[in-house]
Amino acid sequence: MSVMTAEEREAVPLLDAKGVSKSFGTVRALSDAGLKVNAGEIVALVGANGAGKSTFVKILTGVLQPDSGNVTIRGSEVHVGSPAKARRSGLVPVYQEPSLIPDLDVRNNLRLSDTPEGPFLNWVNELGLRGLRLDDMVGHLPLATLRILDLAKALACEPDVLLLDEMTAALPTDLVERTLRVVRSQAECGRGVIFISHRFSEISQLCHRASILRDGATVGDLAVRPGVEDRVVEMMLGAGVETGAPVTGVGHVARPRGTPRLEVEGLAQGGKLSDVSFEIHPGEVLGLVALEGQGQDELFEVLSGLLRPDRGVILIDGTPVSFRHPADAIAAGFAYVPGDRAEALLMERSVHENIALPFSTHLGGWGPIRLRRERASVGETINRLQIDTRARGAVRRLSGGNQQKVTIGRWLAVGFRMLLLFDPTRGIDVRTKRQIYPLVRQLAERGASILYYTSELDEVPLVCDRVLVIFNGCVVATLAVRDANESTLVRAAYGLSPRDACGG
Amino acid sequence: MTRWIGKHAWNIGLAALLAALLGVTKLIQPEFGVSGVESLTRAALPFAFATAAMAVVVIVGGIDLSVASMMAVTGVTAAVLMQHAGDGSSVAVTFLTLLVGVAMGTVNGSLVVLTKVPDIVVTLAMLFVWEGVALLILEAPGGAVADWLMAAVVGGLGGVVDWVPRALILMVFCISVVWVPIKRSRLGLSIYATGSDRAAAFRSGVAVGRTRVAAYAVAGLFCALGGLSLTMITGIGEPVPGPYLLASVAAVVLGGVTLGGGRGGLLGPIIAVFILRLIRLMLTLMAVDPNVTTIVEGAIMVIVVMIGGLLTLKGRRR
């Protein structure tokens, strides 16, 4: 791909970080992290949940100061003091969270960061985003659009080193393709790219090298070639961790008879959800697949009592119900795990309180809390999910994977009949993913019904018994998992299946 | 066009409300006319400056509880220094007073940013500090003010535009001269960005700390204008802070500035000042018990903000 020789690459590393360490109080987040990026190179930075990736990124981009170690850009040592300084020295990041200001329009956001408008619009076009107006308020744009704008903004600065942190996590498939193509062409122009992603397929498609971080130290640096994934995973997880046995039990559930746990008929809400009907039986994991914004968000919100449907019937064990408040849904045994963990967790409060909340509040009661019972079930949940409690004082300080475990764990502690999982593995490392899949199956075996929305198609055969595809607010396909190969799902998700009753 | 209306819906609504209230006042009191508007504007002047000060700080995502105290400090500073000053030195005193305001605002802002103590705590403490300073400068109401300054707020412009109150021109001029250039600059953008999402602003390369200090300094400047205007209206310095703190918060909220920061401007709050003053005037004209007046004012504020909230919610659903 690159025309440079190895010697030339060695000569001028664009970015070189060595021996970086950082502690927060008694928690040592980084002990010896390093990263080298040469011109024209795309380097994947990978690491399991809690390996220190986020901290390392913050240090590279100047949000945090390292305790020791140094970072050089183009051979000269830079003391990166703030994101503004990092930007001036040539390292431009695209963070995991959007860094656009919600209350300013697009034009003012560009002005704020001194981004030239012309190149920005070119990149927006190149990345496949149509119909953007510069006077659109950023707060009114969907998340996927914001990610593209963030990337276009970074590219318009013509950076030496581009850092992409989970850039593709919130993007629909077509935009991912375009994004990867643009990133590749950037590297061909001689720029360096640091690419952080939990999707191995993207890393193997795109990256030249992978630098692996484990427990706060850089433990390996491998050239990416076919088949390297296993080795990378092994290094990420360290010795003694099983590298993922296939989950058993999938699809073996014989089509259950009797009254379904949940029946949904002709559900409609707002402009997004027009006609959704399906059923889930006890012990079943029903997958849900859809492109961004096809009504899946509304479906989950209706089922969890956040939104009231305009039309349609929801039956639990054959009895019609209507939720006026999330507490009604919880009382009916419906547990909701939202896609955005921040929506579910009390970020400033402890792990203990977050897990204990749903059963201690007891649906509006203000009486005394039975502390011993609470401690026991919280402790059991923490053990069962292997939640890392080093930073248990405030959930905000946990890594993404551990936060997700807390969000799921709180429902294990209360008990439920129906679990609504909205993309539970979004932005989560491999190790936690591999803990979540068997957990989901186990819960189903014990009789719970699970609705599992996922944005990653390869998860479907790992956990689901049946799959539901929705497009434009309607169910367009229901497939048994053995028929649900990737191409069928993609065709259905794009509205190309034979049953397209829901014309666009 | 519809986009423009959508962006300025709140201000347009407030202006319509103000016009309607003016009409009702005229109905209640047929003599209400040019002189009525003139005295209303004059009374609104210090409130408008206090509100501008509060609005800037709220937009940056903070709050300043020491607004009224800073007005007292600057008011007495001007009154004491002008007591024996000629016309020439009174100009110098005016500028000095403005500088004192900026300095106090900078102290407030720096304390908030450097100590990392919540702004509400810091400025509550500074409320007492500045109040004490004002009493040290002038123990009891007194001092004097230059004649040309007093003349600047009384009466109309003269000639065919005599119906335009001087106080209004002074208000619009001072607030525009300070705010318009700031709003057009990177500082203005940074102020809105910081108030909207501090972390995102930091990641976009905004010097968040400096921006916040600057916003408090601008607020200090508006407080100095407020203190000066108070002295200009009464002719003396008053060391005990007036009812400007809560009134300014009320006008800011009614004016469409979100208390979380990042949204709104100065025009809305200024119109809101007039609305609140006019309601008070109307209730007085209707001979309503003054104690009931405050109840009505409070109720109107909650209702207007609530209706506004419902309308925005409805607009978003569509």
Calculate how close chain A gets to B269, using CA atoms only, in Å.
18
**Is the domain of A185 the same as that of A315?**
no
Confidence tier at A130 by pLDDT (50, 70, 90): confident
**Is the domain of A121 the same as that of A28?**
yes
Task: For residue A469, tell me if it sits in a domain.
Answer: yes
Please, are residues A392 and A351 in contact by the beta-carbon 8 Å criterion? yes
Q: How large is the average pLDDT for residues B176-187?
A: 93
**Is the domain of A69 the same as that of A131?**
yes
Q: Are residues B206 and A109, on separate chains, in Cβ contact within 8 Å?
A: no
Task: For residue A255, tell me if it sits in a domain.
Answer: no
**Is the domain of A164 the same as that of A20?**
yes
> What pLDDT does B135 receive?
96
Last residue of a domain, one of A186, A203, A237: A237
Calculate how close chain B gets to A5, using CA atoms only, in Å.
36
pLDDT in tens, A428-456: 777 888 888 988 998 898 889 999 998 87
Q: What percent of chain A has pLDDT over 90?
A: 22
pLDDT in tens, A470-503: 988 889 889 888 888 777 787 777 666 554 444 4
**Is the domain of A55 the same as that of A129?**
yes
Q: How large is the average pLDDT for residues A85-89?
A: 78
**Is the domain of A137 the same as that of A82?**
yes
Q: Domains in chain A: how many in total?
A: 2
Q: Are residues A101 and B202, on separate chains, in Cβ contact within 8 Å?
A: no
Confidence tier at A227 by pLDDT (50, 70, 90): confident
pLDDT in tens, A449-462: 999 998 877 788 88
Task: For residue A431, tell me if it sits in a domain.
Answer: yes
Confidence tier at A1 by pLDDT (50, 70, 90): very low
Task: For residue A97, tell me if it sits in a domain.
Answer: yes
The CATH number linked to A482 is 3.40.50.300
Calculate how close chain A gets to B59, using CA atoms only, in Å.
11
> Higher-confidence residue: A8 or A44?
A44
Task: For residue A243, tell me if it sits in a domain.
Answer: no
Calculate how close chain B gets to A253, using CA atoms only, in Å.
41
Q: What percent of chain A has pLDDT over 70?
A: 89
Confidence tier at A504 by pLDDT (50, 70, 90): very low
Task: For residue A283, tell me if it sits in a domain.
Answer: yes
Q: Which domain holds residue A409?
A: 262-493
> What pLDDT does A3 receive?
47
Q: What is the pTM (predicted TM-score) of this model?
A: 0.74
Q: Which residue of A has its CA nearest to B262?
A: A103
Is the pLDDT reported for residue A142 higher than 60?
yes
- Most confident among A126-130, A142-146, A206-210 (mean pLDDT): A206-210
Per CB-CB distance under 8 Å, the chain A contacts of B210 are none
Q: Which among B3, B195, B262 has CB closest to A135?
A: B3
Q: How large is the average pLDDT for residues A224-247?
A: 66
Per CB-CB distance under 8 Å, the chain A contacts of B207 are 82, 84
User: DSSP string of A163-226?
Assistant: EEESTTTT--HHHHHHHHHHHHHHHHTT-EEEEE-S-HHHHHHH-SEEEEEETTEEEEEEE--T
> What pLDDT does A362 receive?
57
Task: For residue A253, tell me if it sits in a domain.
Answer: no
Calculate how close chain A gets to B193, using CA atoms only, in Å.
6
Q: How large is the average pLDDT for residues A227-233?
A: 78
Report CA-CA distances (Å) from A374 to A358, A387, A414. Answer: 11, 17, 10
Q: Which residue of A has its CA nearest to B202?
A: A83
Confidence tier at A168 by pLDDT (50, 70, 90): confident
User: DSSP string of B212-265?
Assistant: HHHHHHHHHHHHHHHHHHHHHHHSSB--S--THHHHHHHHHHHTT--TTSS---
**Is the domain of A158 the same as that of A36?**
yes
Confidence tier at B307 by pLDDT (50, 70, 90): confident
Task: For residue A414, tell me if it sits in a domain.
Answer: yes
**Phi, psi for residue A222 in degrees, rounded to 5:** -115, 145
**Is the domain of A338 the same as that of A299?**
yes
Inter-chain CB pairs, A–B, below 8 Å: 63
Q: For chain B, which residues make up each domain, given as ranges?
A: 32-243+258-264
Dist. CA A59–CA A65, nearest whole Å: 6
Q: Which among B186, B189, B317 has CB closest to A104?
A: B189
Is the pLDDT reported for residue A255 higher than 80?
no
**Is the domain of A209 the same as that of A158?**
yes
Interface of B with A in 121-160 (CB under 8 A): none
Per CB-CB distance under 8 Å, the chain B contacts of A104 are 189, 192-193, 196
pLDDT in tens, A104-125: 999 999 988 888 899 999 999 9
**Is the domain of A191 the same as that of A46?**
yes
Over A416-452, what HEC string results?
CCEEEEECCCCCCCHHHHHHHHHHHHHHHHCCCEEEE
Q: Are residues B205 and A87, on separate chains, in Cβ contact within 8 Å?
A: yes
**Is the domain of A78 the same as that of A25?**
yes
Element (H, E) at A70: strand A68-73
Which has the minimum average pLDDT: A80-94, A135-149, A284-298, A341-355?
A80-94
Mean pLDDT rounded to a whole number for chain B? 90
**Is the domain of A72 the same as that of A210?**
yes
